[in-house]
Chain A
Amino acid sequence: MKRVDHAEASSRFISAKDHVAFHDRRLWDLRGKRDREAASIPEWEELRSFASAIKEHTLANLADYLEQFERNAIANGAHVHWARDAAEHNQVVLGILDAHAVHTLVKSKSMLTDECEMSAFLARRGIEVVETDLGERIQQLDEEPPSHIVVPAVHKLRADVARVFARTLGTDPDRTDVAYLAESQRRQTRPYYLKAEAGMTGANFAVAETGSVVVCTNEGNADLSVHVPRLHIASIGIEKVIPRIEHLAVFVRLLSRSALGSPITQMTSHFRAPRAGAEMHIVLVDNGRSERLGMADFWRSLKCIRCGACLNTCPVYRRSGGLSYGATYSGPIGVIIDPTFNLRKYSALPFASTLNGSCTHVCPVKIDIHEQIFRWRQVINERNQLPIVKKEAMRMAGKVLASPRLYRTAVKAAQAGLEYLPRTMIYNPVNAWGRQREVPPAAKQTFRDWYLEHRAGKKGTKA
C-alpha cells in the first residue's frame, strides 16, 4: 500500500490561499469558543479527570461492560450483532437491509461507517445511501471523504458548496448565500426521510447499565432517520461503551463544549428501545480496536469521544486540511490512530506535528496525544519505515546534537550559510524547512556567545 505523503498532499491545500486562511481562522475560532466555555465551568478540569478515569476503567473491563450492554439491549428488544472488521460490518448491515427489502437508507454522521467504507459498499449492491447531515451531504455529493470529524466540509467555502449543489441538486449556481444553500439541502433531503425503509446512526456513547445508544447532533437528522422509518441500525465501535447513565452527565457536559464551544448539542438523543412496531439493530464493531487495546503505549487513544478539539487547535491541521492525511481520522487523533490500521501507509502522519502539546492540553478525556505522536515516530524508525532523506537527516542531526563541539561548529556554519549561500542551496527539495516559506534570518550572535560575554564567570551568577 502506498505511503500517504502528508506534506505533498497539504501543498495542494496550501496553494489555495483563501481556503487556507479561512480554514485556519474558522477552526481557531472554534478553539476560542471552547476556551470560553471551559472557563465558564469551575469544575472543568475535574470533569476532564473524571472523564479520563471513567474511560480508562471501562477499557480495563471492556469485555464485561460489552456483555452487560448487549444483555440489556436485547432485554430492551434490540437485536445485537458483532463484527470483527469492516468487511464483516458491511456484510451484517447488508444482511439486515436485505432481510427488510430496503432500497433507501437515510443515515446520520458516523465516523465508523466511513472507516468501514460502508456507503460505497452498499451503493455497489443497489442500495441508495443518503447522508443527511449537511456537511456529510456536501461531501457525499462532491464524492469526497469528510475532512473533519465534526465539521465534515470545513475546508470548503460557500462558493464551493454552491458549485457542488448546482451540479448535483440543481440549485442556482450564482446564489452562494448560506441560508439558501442549507434550505435547498433541507428540502431535498426531507422526502428521503419519508420514503426510506431504514435509518442509520452511529453512537457517541453506549450505556452498559441500560443498553441505551446515545447520539448527539445539532441538525435533528439522526432523530428523523430513526423516528420516521421502521428500522434503525446503529453501528457502534466497541470502545464507545460507558458503564452508567450518570456518567453521561460528565461526557455530555464536555463533548459539545470541546467540539464547538456550545454548552450542549441541540439534540442529545437516547435510544434505549425500539418504538412500538419498529426494529432496532445494533452492530458492535471491533475493526482493530481490541488489538489497539493491547498496545501499552497506544491503548489510551481508545478513550477518544471524537470531539475534534485536537484538530481545531493543531497548527499543522489548520494549515494542511483534513484531506491531506489521506485517512478517515485526521489531525492529532488521526495521527495516533491511523498507524494502528496500517503502519506503512500512515507512517508519515506522526511527523505532521510540531509536538507542541496543545492537542493533549484541550483533550476532554486527557489522552496523551503528543506523547503518543512522539512514540509513534520511534516505532516507525525502529520498524524502518522512515523515508531515506528524513532518516539520514535525523542520523546526522543526532550526531551533531550529541556533541557540543560539533553542534557549535554547525551553528556557526549555518549562520554563515544563511547569509552567504546562493538561494538554491537553501531552497531545494532536500531541505524540507525551506519549502513554502522563507527561512528566518539567523541571529548575529549565538546564545552561547552572548552568555559567555555577559554572564559566564561573573560574580553572583550560577555557572
Chain B
Amino acid sequence: MNARRPVAAPSDGGAARRAEILARVRANQPTAGPSPPLPVYDRALQVPLDTFAANLERMGGELVAVPDEGDLEDWIRRRYPQARVVCSATPDVAGTRSIASVSAPCDLADVDVGVVRAALGVAETGSVLLTERHLGINALGFLAQHLVVLLDPSSIVPDLHHAYRDPCFRDARYTLLLTGPSATADIEGVLVRGAQGVRSLTIIARAPRRSA
C-alpha cells in the first residue's frame, strides 16, 4: 500500500472552477423550446390492488392476504420460523427489536426480518414508497434478510405520475420507491433474488390501526 500523500483541500480554487464551468456552459448553450406541460394519464383501475399485486409479482415481490383481525406477530413467526431478530419500524408490529432502540445502521446487520409501513403503493409498477420516517433507520430496508411491508390498499395510486405528486419527494431526506426484493441478472442474465439487499419482499395489504 502506498503512503498517503497530502493533497490540496477541495475548496481550493473551487469558486474559480465553478465560475469557469458555468461560463462555458452559458456560452455554449443551444436554443430549445420550453419544457412541455405534462398530461395526467388517468386510467380507471377496476381494482388497483389487483394491478398492484400482478406487477409486484413480476418484480419478485409477493402480496399476501392476512385477515384484518389476524395477528401479525403470529403470522410473521410462522412465515419466518428460523428468524431470531424481527426489527419493526411500525407500531402495527412489535417484533423482537424496536427500531427506536437501535442507534447505528451497523447494528441492523443481524436483522432477519424488517417490518415497515409504506406511504403508498403504485399500481403500474408494484412499487411501495418509503422514507426515513417509515424506515426509522434507512439501512433497515437493505441490511435485513427479509422485508415485510404493510400497505393500506386505499393508498394505491395508478401510476408514477401520481406517485411523484406525494409531498415526500419534497420534504423527506430520503425517498425510496421499492419494487420487489434486491435482484441481479449480471451473470448470463440468470435472475438471482437477494443480490445485496433483502432476499424477499412481502407486502401485506392492511389499513393502519385507528389511533383513537
- Chain A residues near B (Cβ < 8 Å): 22, 26, 29-30, 43, 46, 50, 53-54, 56-63, 66-67, 76, 81-84, 88, 91-92, 94-96, 98-99, 124-126, 132-135, 138, 151-154, 156-158, 161, 178-179, 181-183, 186, 189-190, 193-194, 210, 212, 218-221, 223-224, 226-228, 238, 243-250, 252-253, 260, 262-275, 284, 286, 290-291, 293-294, 296, 299
Q: Across the interface, do A50 and B36 meet the contact criterion of CB distance under 8 Å?
A: yes
- The A-contacting residues of B in range 187-209, CB under 8 angstroms, are 187-190, 192, 194-198
With CB as the reference atom, state the residue of chain A lying closest to B161.
Answer: A249
Knowing A269-B176, A272-B172, say if A135 contacts B186 (CB, 8 Å).
yes
- The A-contacting residues of B in range 135-187, CB under 8 angstroms, are 137-139, 141-143, 159-161, 163-165, 169-170, 172-187
Would you give the shortest CB distance from B18 to chain A, in whole angstroms? 4
With contacts A134-B184, A158-B187 known, what are 9 further pairs, Cβ within 8 A? A30-B189, A66-B22, A190-B196, A193-B143, A249-B164, A269-B175, A270-B176, A272-B170, A272-B175
Knowing A224-B196, A286-B21, say if A249 contacts B138 (CB, 8 Å).
no
Contacts of B33 in A (CB 8 A): 53, 56-57
Contacts of A194 in B (CB 8 A): 106, 109
Contacts of A294 in B (CB 8 A): 27-28, 30
Q: Across the interface, do B177 and A63 meet the contact criterion of CB distance under 8 Å?
A: no
Q: Across the interface, do A275 and B173 meet the contact criterion of CB distance under 8 Å?
A: yes
> Complex: how many Å from CA A161 to CA B159?
38
Across the interface, A266 reaches (CB within 8 A) one of B38, B182, B186, namely B182
Q: Across the interface, do A26 and B164 meet the contact criterion of CB distance under 8 Å?
A: no
| 14 residue pairs from A and B, CB less than 8 Å apart | A30-B189, A60-B31, A60-B32, A62-B29, A186-B195, A194-B109, A219-B184, A263-B58, A266-B60, A266-B179, A267-B179, A272-B174, A275-B173, A286-B21
> Which segment of B5-13, B74-82, B86-94 sits at the interface?
B5-13
Contacts of B180 in A (CB 8 A): 266
With CB as the reference atom, state the residue of chain B lying closest to A210.
Answer: B170
> Complex: how many Å from CA A262 to CA B105?
30
> Which segment of B64-72, B113-121, B124-132 sits at the interface?
B124-132
Contacts of B6 in A (CB 8 A): 98
Q: Across the interface, do B38 and A250 meet the contact criterion of CB distance under 8 Å?
A: yes
Contacts of A138 in B (CB 8 A): 186-187
Q: Across the interface, do B30 and A264 meet the contact criterion of CB distance under 8 Å?
A: no
> Complex: how many Å from CA A263 to CA B159?
11
Tell me the count of chain B residues lying within 8 A, CB to CB, of chain A: 83
Q: Across the interface, do B35 and A224 meet the contact criterion of CB distance under 8 Å?
A: no
Answer yes or no: B3 CB below 8 A from chain A CBs: yes
With CB as the reference atom, state the residue of chain A lying closest to B180.
Answer: A266
The residue in A30, A126, A132 that gathers the most chain B C-beta atoms within 10 A of its C-beta is A126
Across the interface, A63 reaches (CB within 8 A) one of B7, B29, B132, namely B29
Across the interface, A98 reaches (CB within 8 A) one of B7, B20, B27, B106, namely B7
Would you give the shortest CB distance from A22 to chain B, in whole angstroms? 7
Q: Across the interface, do B187 and A178 meet the contact criterion of CB distance under 8 Å?
A: yes
Q: Across the interface, do B142 and A227 meet the contact criterion of CB distance under 8 Å?
A: yes
Q: Across the interface, do A53 and B28 meet the contact criterion of CB distance under 8 Å?
A: no
With CB as the reference atom, state the residue of chain B lying closest to A219.
Answer: B195
> Complex: how many Å from CA A281 to CA B179?
27
Q: Across the interface, do B174 and A269 meet the contact criterion of CB distance under 8 Å?
A: yes
Contacts of A30 in B (CB 8 A): 189
List the 3 closest A-B pairs by CB distance, nearest first. A220-B197, A294-B28, A95-B10
Knowing A221-B195, A275-B132, say if A246 contacts B161 (CB, 8 Å).
yes
Across the interface, B24 reaches (CB within 8 A) one of A67, A249, A267, A291, namely A291
Q: Across the interface, do B21 and A134 meet the contact criterion of CB distance under 8 Å?
A: no
Q: Across the interface, do B188 and A158 meet the contact criterion of CB distance under 8 Å?
A: yes
Would you give the shortest CB distance from A40 to chain B, in whole angstroms? 10
Knowing A218-B182, A246-B161, say if A224 contacts B139 (CB, 8 Å).
yes
Contacts of A76 in B (CB 8 A): 173
Answer yes or no: B59 CB below 8 A from chain A CBs: yes
Would you give the shortest CB distance from B4 to chain A, in whole angstroms? 5
Q: Across the interface, do A95 and B183 meet the contact criterion of CB distance under 8 Å?
A: no
Would you give the shortest CB distance from A204 to chain B, in whole angstroms? 12
Q: Across the interface, do A264 and B179 meet the contact criterion of CB distance under 8 Å?
A: yes
Q: Across the interface, do B197 and A219 meet the contact criterion of CB distance under 8 Å?
A: yes
Would you give the shortest CB distance from A190 to chain B, in whole angstroms? 8
> Complex: how many Å from CA A179 to CA B8?
45
Knowing A132-B196, A238-B21, A265-B179, say if A95 contacts B8 (CB, 8 Å).
yes
- The A-contacting residues of B in range 39-63, CB under 8 angstroms, are 39, 41, 55, 58-60
